[in-house]
Structure 1
Amino acid sequence: MQKEIDQAISVLQQGGLILYPTDTVWGIGCDATNESAVKKIYDLKQREDSKALICLVANDAMLERTIEEVPDLAYDIMDLSTKPTTIVYDNPKGIAKNLIAEDNTLAVRVASDKFCRYLINKFKKPIVSTSSNISGRPTPKSFGEIDKVILKGVDYVVNLQPEEKNAVPSAIIKLSSDGTVKVIRE
């Protein structure tokens, strides 16, 4: 696993794209602070950059460095969630501008997958995590379902085949600074 982490970090540091197993589905990732790398993902997915992408962090400390003010309720939601849960926060900071939604929000998930946590911890920055499909097409439920265009379009494919444990996208909850909670995807 260490060799895979080192190779993925090398690609991320150079502004490249990786295809990697997450705590949900296989994801396309890049340095979440690198605007040109984020643009490569939008181009590869053939997706408008007005449709926000998810960002993964390794732990609560990295979350707090990425979001201006993390509401206390966010920690309760993460602790009580029975499946991976992405939370949309107000006022992100230190992130590529084209990753931030028009309403100044950012979707962030604290990774629960061991490989992802190690990778992000060693990289020391958040990484993008978006499903490995062309926009508008179904999300692949296994590595074998990933479109060849995606496989050829990334700079590195992490050579780890996780057990197909979850293979469903995360829940998404929008948590506004004013205390409003909205479920976007269950």
Structure 2
Amino acid sequence: MRSKIDEAVSVLHRDGLIVYPTETVYGLGCDAFSENAIHRVYEVKKRPVSNPISVAVCDLEMALAITLMSDFEQEFIERFLPGPVTAVVKAGSCIPKVLTGGTDYIGIRIPDNETALNIIREFDAPITSTSANISGGKSPVDFNEVTVVYDLFVDGGRLPGTPSTVVDLCRKEVIRAGPQLDEIGRYLADEKE
């Protein structure tokens, strides 16, 4: 697996696209700081550029380096990530505007998948975290279901297939229901009181 991680990092360094495993579905990753690579992701997914794309980081430290997070948002991430949760927070100025869909907010993922974390750690920068399918299509759980063009596939076997719960931490509300919903709902309700 080591050589596959090195290969993935090499592809990312040259603005390539990788398909990588997470604890939910296969993600389509590129260098989240490269506008050229990000435009390729929108292109191969046939995704409107007004739709933001989340990023995957390997730890809280990397998340803090690219966002403007409150103490509450930081505590939420420490509690629920790594895991099948996307936390939407204010993007830092280093995040290309195209990733935020013009909103100035960015979804943060810390995948609970060793392969994904190792790729991000070795690359030493965030990568895009969007499912490896044409926009609106089925999120892929194995190689045969990947419907986008990419430069490298990193095999993680068959994946669980439940997309992450998306939580807008600024508004303290769930945008997309998924795993850990009850626990997240209780946590947000406690915060609102």
- Regarding TM over 0.5, the answer is yes
Q: What's 2:121 paired with?
A: 121
1:1-186 equivalent positions in 2, closer than 5 A: 1-76=1-76, 78-80=78-80, 83-147=83-147, 150=148, 153-158=149-154, 160-164=155-159, 166-176=160-170, 180-186=171-177
Pick closer, same or farther for the CA change 1:82–1:97 going to 2, 3 Å. Answer: closer
| Displacement after TM superposition at 1:24 (Å) | 1.3
Q: Give the AA of the match of 2:9.
A: I
Q: Give the AA of the match of 2:96.
A: A
Pick closer, same or farther for the CA change 1:128–1:81 going to 2, 3 Å. Answer: closer
CA distance in 1, matches of 2:19, 2:47: 17
| Displacement after TM superposition at 1:103 (Å) | 2.1
Q: Give the AA of the match of 1:90.
A: K
Q: What percent identity do the matched residue pairs reach?
A: 33
TM-score, normalising length: structure 2: 0.84
Q: What do the CA deviations read for 1:56-113 (whole angstroms, capped 9, x no partner)? A: 0000100110102243244235525795100010133322221123221001112221
Q: Contact between 2:19 and 2:152, CA under 8 Å: does it hold in 1?
A: yes
**Ranges in structure 1 where 5+ consecutive residues have no aligned partner:** none
Pick closer, same or farther for the CA change 1:168–1:78 going to 2, 3 Å. Answer: farther
CA distance in 2, matches of 1:69, 1:82: 17
TM-score, normalising length: structure 1: 0.87
Structure ranking higher on relative contact order (CA contacts 8 Å, 6+ apart)? 1
Q: Provide the secondary structure at the position in 2 that maps to 1:3.
A: helix
Cα root mean square deviation, aligned:
1.8
Q: Provide the secondary structure at the position in 1 that maps to 2:68.
A: coil
Q: What do the CA deviations read for 1:149-178 (whole angstroms, capped 9, x no partner)? A: x2xx211111x23353x22111000011xx
CA distance in 1, matches of 2:109, 2:85: 6
Q: Contact between 1:15 and 1:36, CA under 8 Å: does it hold in 2?
A: yes
Moved more, 2-11 or 90-99: 90-99
**Ranges in structure 2 where 5+ consecutive residues have no aligned partner:** 178-193
Question: In the comparison of the two structures, how many residue pairs are matched?
Answer: 177
